[in-house]
Structure 1
Amino acid sequence: MSDSFATRASLEVNGRTYRYASLAKLGQRFDIARLPYSMKILLENLLRHEDGVSVLPAHIEAVARWDPHTEPDTEIAFMPARVVLQDFTGVPCVVDLAAMRDAVVRLGGRPEQINPLAPVELVIDHSVQVDAFGNAGALDLNVKIEFDRNKERYGFLRWGQKSFDNFKVVPPRTGIVHQVNLEHLARVVMEGQKDGELWAYPDTVFGTDSHTTMINGLGVLGWGVGGIEAEAAMLGQPSSMLIPQVVGFKLSGRLPEGATATDLVLTVTQMLRKLGVVGKFVEFFGPGLKNLALADRATIGNMAPEYGATCGIFPIDAEALAYLRLSGRSEDLVRLVEAYAKAQGLWHDESTPPPAFTTTLELDLADVKPSLAGPKRPQDRVLLGEVQQNYLAHVGPLAAGRKPKKTAETADFANEGGATAIGNPANDLVNGRVRVEKDGINFELDDGAVVIAAITSCTNTSNPAVMLGAGLLARKAVAKGLKAKPWVKTSLAPGSKVVTDYLEQTGVLTDLDRLGFYLVGYGCTTCIGNSGPLPPEVSRGIAEGDLVVASVLSGNRNFEGRVHPEVKMNYLASPPLVVAYALAGTVDIDLTREPLGIGSDGQPVYLRDIWPTNKEISDTVAGAVTPAMFAKNYADVFKGDERWNAIASADGELYAWDADSTYIKNPPYFDGMTMAVGSIDDVHGARVLGLFGDSITTDHISPAGSIKKDSPAGRFLISRGVQPVDFNSYGSRRGNDDVMVRGTFANIRIRNLMLDGVEGGYTVHVPSGEQLAIYDAAMRYKAEGTPLVVFAGKEYGTGSSRDWAAKGTLLLGVKAVIAESFERIHRSNLVGMGVLPCQFRDGENAGTLGLTGHERIDIVGLQDGDAREATVVATAPDGKRTQFTVTVLLLTPKEREFFRHGGILPYVLRQLAARKAA
């Protein structure tokens, strides 16, 4: 380990001597004090990993001399201290590691060469589904179903925990990965042995989930990466990145009465999306920090993918130390964090001058207003008083072909007439209402009906203020005699067992139960599409009336087709507002003016009548959340319950693959692999698999949610003897490429512009002109020896960092994706899998170029990946040629090297196999 700038120093804490890379010593040569907090962490990372190969003195100097206004053009190598996984993305990671063990043996190496070199912790949180709800037995039944469905996957993970070093699993029924990370796994300052010395260094983390950024609220630099990049980090490979620009976000004041952290983060998301921060770091500072609890900061950090930033980080300060104590961390750790942060200039208090930023935004917290976001994007904030208007503006297009659009006149009439239990009579359009009987209750279902009200996801269920706020609102609603509407599927999925403890201690869990918000599980549920089936009576009503119904959830994602296939409008909201909309039963209402319902005294009850004050909430939080709760719930966090420990699992360094398994399969990425490195060749004679518009998310691309029996994946499972009732979800089958490739681009809401108005995963096979499922067309092209390309618009790959969005693209035979712009993680994932990302020139896209998707495509001039630009020639069926230039998005020399190897994993595998250690 080199030390060109002589920065090695010692720190005495807790009677121990720690070595560290001193930024203060480097500051004797460079103006380090002006650097943002996040840039200091990157700089320390380089100092500690300087090796003369991946990290050179020039890299360190480039960061030390960082110019906030310079466009990024310098590549650096970043090595996270640890990796966190969730089970949907973690299972394929472990599958790949197991496959790499087989492959390294074939190449002459040894199985133990494939082992995580950094700590890796996997939290099983994505497999629980809301099958049961609305009763006291829902939790136990959902957990039972979860274990029955996922026994094979869980057995595989138990094998991994036994077989791999540095790999731990947090079993089911514990919590959501990001909340468990915040409450327990995060160290803030790491300690470890290196070259016989005890070192202290910042806790930095890669996570295989976009919302890994939640940990930024605790001062930990980390972000979501694809599973491919995470696997490389586990195996000791640094991640190549450009030195980022850093946007400063100044906060002042305090939140006003009635506003929550959810309202704040939706405001921040909208502001930063408008500014444009893709690929940038965002750092929060200013006098308002002292008025934000750590949980509020974590809420803001969590939503970084929604505002498009790589991270949204807060510095270490007194509030961070207070949270470490509250969450049961040892006093030794708290002292180490404080001493290290102060020694390194990473400590923040009111006397800390603001650093230099690329640009700065400002927000007075007092200006935050109650809000939701929707109906299909998290950045589309809607003031609470404007939700009804927002609904009316969107329901017409969604119901097109069934009945006329609702008009401004009907909206005004509705505001005058007030709300009914099922919406406004003025909006009762032709064939819009359906009479339903459920559990002996008759009601009418209409457009705008809230059929799902879910307190779910890491963003909010980590925050005691909004969770207890929801409980207090429920208590007041119960006292008024209000009930949730009978068509609403209500659920409560806390982020950890600590949440249940403080809800029980304050007594509000009982009040939530009385409104139907019974505990359904600990994990990501509705927010990732694990919302489970709607009651059959409600489903039939929606289908009969072709209704446009809604969900209201306390999540961070509401993309089309994500929450539930029968629900076309989805609104993100704070937990208290989720409860409020369950009471109202519709989004066709103005909750600032109209009553939620009629109380037991016969009088209308308004939202303002039951909304708890900020003081009520803060007083309840102060008396309810204690360190003892955290200590109790995390004492044996890796042990698991009887169900977990009873699962059978294999032994041995090599996994015993089961050829009959439809869950776990040895993937084809290393089939026929040799030590020879390939080249980056031009693409000739390709066809267009899909022509897509803007905002195609990883939800659209990656297999997710339920598997339809008449889909390619469903037909495959049936052919393997799996009955539709046992299909489980795509997420649970991410360890089987046969299932996943068939579900790629199969989202029910995706629109391929090669087809006229058709929704779903279909395309046109050229030249036959047949409309086929995308998978079926891709296999026909493969049999014909035809390579494929994809065209898309802006923000391609936005959303969760699903590695299967890239893996499935590769396995379909796609050689290149040409888009107007890419989301950061998905672009990286495409490179990591050997799929070439290219970008149209500004102002150009498939539409402006007159492309229909029926052309033959050639991509020339790649120069083995060294070219910054390439030429695309599109030849139409009539022989007309359209030629245009694209930017080749292989951004760094390391990425070009990965690509020549066929991706990150083949690159790593060849490096390890070449050692052939005895």
Structure 2
Amino acid sequence: MPSLDSLNCRRTLEVNGKTYHYFSLPEAAHQLGDISRLPASLKVLLENLLRHEDGVTVQPGDLDALAGWLKTRSADQEIQYRPARVLMQDFTGVPAVVDLTAMRDAVSKAGADPQQINPLSPVDLVIDHSVMVDRFGNADAYEQNVEIEMQRNGERYEFLRWGQQAFDNFQVVPPGTGICHQVNLEYLAQVAWTRDEDGETVVYPDTLVGTDSHTTMVNGLGVLGWGVGGIEAEAAMLGQPVSMLIPEVVGFRLTGELKEGVTATDLVLTVTQMLRKQGVVGKFVEFYGPGLDTLPLADRATIGNMAPEYGATCGFFPVDGITLDYLRLTGRDEDRIALVEAYYKAQGLWRDSNSPDPEFTHTLELELGSVVPSLAGPKRPQDRVALTDIGSNFDLLLETSGKKAEADRDFPVSGEAHGLKHGDVVIAAITSCTNTSNPNVLMAAGLVAKKAVERGLIRKPWVKTSLAPGSKVVTDYLLKAGLNNYLDELGFNLVGYGCTTCIGNSGPLPDPIGQSITDNDLIVSSVLSGNRNFEGRVHPLVKANWLASPPLVVAFALAGTTRIDLSREPLGEDNQGNPVYLKDIWPTSQEVNAEVAKIDGDMFRRRYADVFSGDEHWQAIPVTPGNTYEWNSNSSYVQNPPYFDAIGEPAPEPQDVLDARILALFGDSITTDHISPAGNIKASSPAGEYLQSLGVQPDDFNSYGSRRGNHEVMMRGTFANIRIRNEMLGGEEGGNTLYQPGGEKMPIYDAAMKYQAEGVPLVVIAGKEYGTGSSRDWAAKGTNLLGVKAVIAESFERIHRSNLIGMGVLALQFINGQDRQSLGLTGQEKLSIRGLSANIKPRQKLTVDIERADGSRESFEVLCRIDTLNEVQYFKAGGILHYVLRQMIGQA
């Protein structure tokens, strides 16, 4: 829809002989007031509103509110934001493609053209979350892991291959290419996005939402983006706006430059620690100051990547000359680079040393020269530890764990000459988008390996080593520098291109190592160049996990332990028996820069020239062409969900919910991790029993994450978390409930199916902060499929509340000081929700009638948390996807 352009700010820009149309921020400022000191990230949002002003979702008051942020600094006004594109990885992308495919089926059954169903915004799905480090430490590890990956994920990949050819505006980057955030940084991102509209080319800032929290990495390139839940991403790709509050923006001023020997990883761990202490959850962070002039783009991206770890929505860097240098390095088109410069300067979005500092909600400052070599751990990314303190820090961990007395004991490893001690490094992984986008730290890792090999050092035999770069370009420049062979000699052979150790795809430890850890309850370590190190995430047997730069990962593989001070204790001995220290093999900045200088744009152009085609494994996957998908009823990975079964019928008017049963009674802080299926699938669980009924053996269950395209698995895992507490069972942990009447104990899924068979609607009751945590789409989807009509809670996390409405589930909030306890709810009651009608309005009051087991009755009021007119439309249609679908088939 064309913008109303009530401020008359549409202008043209001539670049290299081509005319571009754009919405001018300086022109808008003539009426909105001075915006020159507005943070750059908010200027991007303001441009977005100008371009999408329609009088309904974006009104003049929204423009005034954003322009007036400098006066209020408030985050209490909601705006409707439309990103230019959507980025997905395969774990979160598969269910989105399943939904699109199911929508095509529904349209076809309604007698309309299924080809109407296509993303309206460009969507890129990068398959990067499925490769695991099953094989390592040999020249064939990469090919072996690829073979296992393709076999393990054949059903999912066949489905995505079909989607690749079936949908317009939808591209799939096949497995074995790289990590979605690095592919985004090096290739997909354009900084200045263009679109042809009615014969004119419109230019605007490149923006996106992604279904991975580390989408924020691209903010290092001046591209505004962050992670959202799957439902929000699906809505965005179908042209619906993302509702958000105008954020607070915290300014982070950088001065000086990093000292010799200090890496970008050391910097980002310091920044993460500072921002976590400041408290930036739900806020934008924007970096500024003279220190940006010394900070390479890859370092900026490393900082942007870690935004989820410091808690911010994003960590944004404005566009400047260093941005252009990176676009040129990575082989971007020269006309695009010229457009980026001209457009950002015309909009007042360009940063240079003469730019005035923006104004912020709060500010922090860091002198880059104060940063020291660091790690973070053993359980949280914000817990930075100076390299010199890592040994003493681990000793403190042993003491608090009651293991100090056996700190120096050598425990046997079956069949091996060596033993295993507390603190030994059993995993050393150069992995994750955080660092493998950064050639400085990867070249440094290669140089450390080279110097170590030349001195005769080897990795310790109990260390599982791996190298999983974020893109194939990494392999090219290590090869060109001649450093790949040295990494191979130390066991850092290529194992795959994708997210491995950082997301728990570290693969199995050798059996004797794993057995020794288990038998002796050892606290052992992993050292990885990733961004997350929560206990149990990297490997279930590894309790201490340390984030570090790639060169330090190599160093700890040589040392074999984290009970060491590498600043004064040797890594090992050289061929003559002399001690070798870290300083002896640590490269100088001059040495690193000399290798980085060998990287050129041709490497990137060559690798990305045919990026969507895939290798022979991908191309060999059989695909049945067609506009609709031939669902395989026997598939355990991909199934047609029932969301749209009745879409051919008119949308039913909202009805009161009568005589509903309480499925579960929860306390405070029930997170989406509690609600949504995640992690391993137990054989005795409803999901495990279902898979076994299909002939899938427990060894082949894979994870809930890999089976997000099968609603039969996911709905069985909803509310099945082993740590969730249903108060109907007196605080007992586990996903069970009491089926009423009678009070029979059974899994929540089984009870929900019994209620559904009897036509009984369901309600969930909860305390404060319901749905906090990651914005998991299945927390809302699973709730819907179990037959839950409403969740009544004391308060909701914002995104989960929105997701519930987006799936047609009422979010109702206790008011008048009431809650489940003051009302004496036990789970035996019947509840009726009254006041729903075709005239439902945002935030209206509804009445809930209670019929108790003894026949007594009372009523209480709740606030209906359908907060906006958009959400009223979504709810009346049955959900946000139903709303879009009904529009397409002419029913909305």
Does TM, normalized by the shorter one, top 0.5?
A: yes
* Alpha-carbon displacement from aligned partner over 1:571-598 (angstroms, at most 9, x marks no partner): 3222222223323333344444544344
Deviations 1:655-708 (A, max 9, x none): 11111111211012223344325548679765464757769564x654444444
Question: Alpha carbons of 1:677 and 1:527: their partners in 2 closer, same or farther (altered >3 Å)?
Answer: farther
Q: CA deviation at 1:530?
A: 1.6
State the partner residue of 2:544: 569
Q: Distance in 1 between matches of 2:286 and 2:463?
A: 39
Does the Cα contact within 8 Å between 1:224 and 1:825 map onto a contact in 2?
Answer: no
Question: Is 1:634 aligned to 2:618, yes or no?
Answer: no
Amino acid at match of 1:133: F
CA shift at 1:108, angstroms? 4.9
- Pair 1:808-2:810 in alignment: no
Q: Tell me how far 1:139 sits from its aligned partner.
A: 0.3
Which amino acid is 1:243 matched to? I
Amino acid at match of 1:489: K
Write the distance in 2 (CA, Å) between the matches of 1:683 and 1:370: 62
2:30 aligns to what SS in structure 1? coil
Cross-structure match for 2:25: 23
Partner of residue 291, structure 1: 294
Partner of 1:216: 219
The correspondence of residues 631-780 of structure 1 with structure 2, limited to 5 A, is 631-673=605-647, 674-676=649-651, 678-679=653-654, 687=662, 689=664, 691=666, 696=671, 698=673, 701-744=675-718, 762-763=735-736, 765=738, 775-776=749-750, 779=753
State the match for 2:414 in structure 1: 437
What is the CA distance between 1:181 and its match in structure 2?
0.6
CA displacement at 1:476 relative to structure 2: 2.7
Secondary structure at the aligned position of 1:667 is classed as coil
The alpha-carbon distance between structure 1 residues 355 and 855, as it changes in their structure 2 partners (threshold 3 A), is farther
Cα distance between partner residues in 2 of 1:244 and 1:3: 24
Which deviates the most, 263-272 or 117-126?
263-272
Match of 1:904 in 2: 880
Greater CA drift, 257-266 or 42-51: 257-266
Please tell me the residue identity of whatever aligns with 2:700. D
2:178 to 175, 178, 188: 175
Could you tell me which residue of structure 2 aligns to residue 322 of structure 1? Answer: 325
Contact 1:474/1:515, CA 8 A, preserved across alignment:
yes
Residues 584 and 597 of structure 1 are in contact (CA less than 8 Å); yes or no, is this contact kept in structure 2? yes
Question: In the alignment, does 2:51 pair up with 1:48?
Answer: yes
Q: Does 1:337 align with 2:313?
A: no
Query: Secondary structure of the residue that 1:501 maps to in structure 2?
Result: helix
Q: Are residues 772 and 463 of structure 1, via their aligned partners in 2, closer, same or farther at CA, if it must alter by over 3 Å?
A: farther
Measure, in 2, the Cα distance between the counterparts of 1:247 and 1:535. 46
Instruction: Classify the secondary structure of the residue corresponding to 1:201.
Output: strand
Say whether the 8 Å CA contact 1:684–1:858 is kept in structure 2. yes
CA shift digits 1:771-815 (9 cap, x unpaired): 76554565566667473537477695434x542343234434555
Provide the residue aligned with 1:417 in structure 2: none
1:435 maps to a residue whose letter is P
* Candidates 184, 188, 191, aligned match of 1:185: 188
After superposition, residues 115-130 of structure 1 pair within 5 angstroms as 115-130=118-133
Partner AA of 1:718 in structure 2: Q
Please tell me whether the aligned partners of residues 176 and 496 of structure 1 are also in contact (alpha carbons under 8 angstroms).
Answer: yes
Greater Cα shift, 770-779 or 152-161: 770-779
Aligned match for 2:252, one of 249, 253, 257:
249
- Residue number among 8, 29, 33 corresponding to 2:10 in the alignment: 8
Closer, same or farther: CA 743–855 of 1 in aligned 2, 3 Å: same
Verify the 8 A CA contact 1:132 1:138 in the aligned structure 2. yes
- What is the CA-CA distance between 1:462 and the residue it aligns to? 0.6
Instruction: Choose 204-213 or 880-889, whichever is displaced more.
Output: 880-889
Q: 1:539 to 1:47 in 2, by over 3 A?
A: same
**Could you tell me whether the CA contact under 8 Å between 2:41 and 2:286 is conserved in 1?**
yes
**% of aligned pairs identical?**
61
Matched, 1:491 2:491: no
C-alpha contact (below 8 Å) 1:840/1:886 kept by paired residues? yes
Question: What secondary structure is seen at the aligned counterpart in 2 of 1:914?
Answer: coil
- Measure the CA separation in 1 of the matches of 2:756 and 2:171: 40
2:205 matched to 1:230?
A: no
Change (3 A) 1:762 1:570: farther
- The amino acid across from 1:201 in the alignment is Y
Alpha-carbon shift at residue 717 of structure 1 (Å): 1.5
1:881 is displaced (CA, Å) by 13
State the aligned residue count: 883
Q: 1:555 Cα shift?
A: 1.6
Q: Deviations over 1:420-451 (max 9, x none)?
A: xxxxx5454xxxx642135xx33323443332
Q: 2:242 aligns to what?
A: 239
1:213 Cα offset (Å): 1.1
User: In the alignment, is residue 155 of structure 1 matched against residue 158 of structure 2?
Assistant: yes
Q: Distance in 1 between matches of 2:391 and 2:627?
A: 58
Q: Which residue matches 1:542?
A: 517
Please give the alpha-carbon distance, in whole angstroms, between the structure 2 residues aligned to 1:697 and 1:554: 27
Q: Distance in 2 between matches of 1:240 and 1:138?
A: 45
Residue identity opposite 1:23 in structure 2: L
What SS does the corresponding residue of 2:417 show, helix, strand or coil?
Answer: strand
Distance 1:731 1:251 in 2: 39
SS in 1 for 2:153: helix
Q: Distance in 2 between matches of 1:336 and 1:757?
A: 61
Q: Which amino acid aligns with 1:672?
A: A
- Measured after TM superposition, the shift of residue 818 of structure 1 is 7.3
Equivalent residue letter for 2:383 = D
**2: CA distance, partners of 1:842 / 1:347:** 50
Distance 1:723 1:380, change over 3 A: same
1:365-514 alignment, distance < 5 Å:
365-392=368-395, 394=397, 405-406=402-403, 426=407, 428=409, 434-438=411-415, 441-514=416-489
Matches of 2:286 and 2:655, distance apart in 1? 38
Deviations 1:815-873 (A, max 9, x none): 56678987665554344334556789999999x99999978697979975743889999
> 5+ unaligned residues in a row in structure 2: which ranges?
none
Change (3 A) 1:293 1:826: farther
C-alpha deviations, 1:289-343, integer Å up to 9, x for none?
A: 1111101111111122222222211111000000000000011111000000111
For residues 262 and 684 of structure 1, the distance between their equivalents in structure 2, rounded to whole angstroms, comes to 57
Superposition deviation, residue 263 in structure 1 = 2.1
Q: Which amino acid aligns with 1:286?
A: G
Q: Give the Cα separation in 2 of the matches to 1:259 and 1:616.
A: 14
Q: Please tell me whether the aligned partners of residues 107 and 675 of structure 1 are also in contact (alpha carbons under 8 angstroms).
A: no
Shift of 1:107: 4.1
1:755 is displaced (CA, Å) by 8.3
Q: For structure 1, which runs of at least 5 residues remain unmatched after alignment?
A: 400-404, 411-424
Measure how far apart 1:281 and its partner are.
1.6
Cα offset, 1:536, TM superposition: 1.9
Cα distance in 1 for partners of 2:517, 2:722 equals 17
| Alpha-carbon contact 1:688-1:791 (below 8 Å) kept | no
TM-score by length of 2: 0.90
- Residues 233/757 of structure 1: CA separation in 2 closer, same or farther (3 Å cut): closer
Aligned pair in 2 of structure 1 residues 837, 532: CA closer, same or farther (>3 Å)?
farther
SS in 1 for 2:889: helix
Q: Is the partner of 1:27 in helix, strand or coil?
A: helix
**What's the CA shift for 1:636?**
0.9
The correspondence for 2:843, drawn from 867, 880, 886, is: 867
Other-structure match for 1:402: none
* Aligned mates of 1:534, 1:635 — CA distance in 2: 37
Moved more, 656-665 or 469-478: 469-478
Distance 1:661 1:369, change over 3 A: same
- When structure 1 is superposed on structure 2, of 566-575 and 205-214 the one drifting more is 566-575
Contact conserved, 2:663 with 2:748, CA < 8 A, in 1?
Answer: no
Cα deviations by residue, 1:199-245 (Å, 9 ceiling, x for unpaired): 11111112111111111111111111222112222222222222222
1:618 aligns with 2:620: no
Deviation at 1:493, TM superposition (A): 0.5
Larger displacement relative to structure 2 (581-590 or 220-229): 581-590
Residues in 1 aligned to 2:571 and 2:667: alpha-carbon distance in whole angstroms: 41
> For each residue in 1:476-502, what CA deviation from the matched residue of structure 2 results, as whole angstroms up to 9, or x when unmatched?
332333332322221110000011111
1:530 corresponds in structure 2 to 505
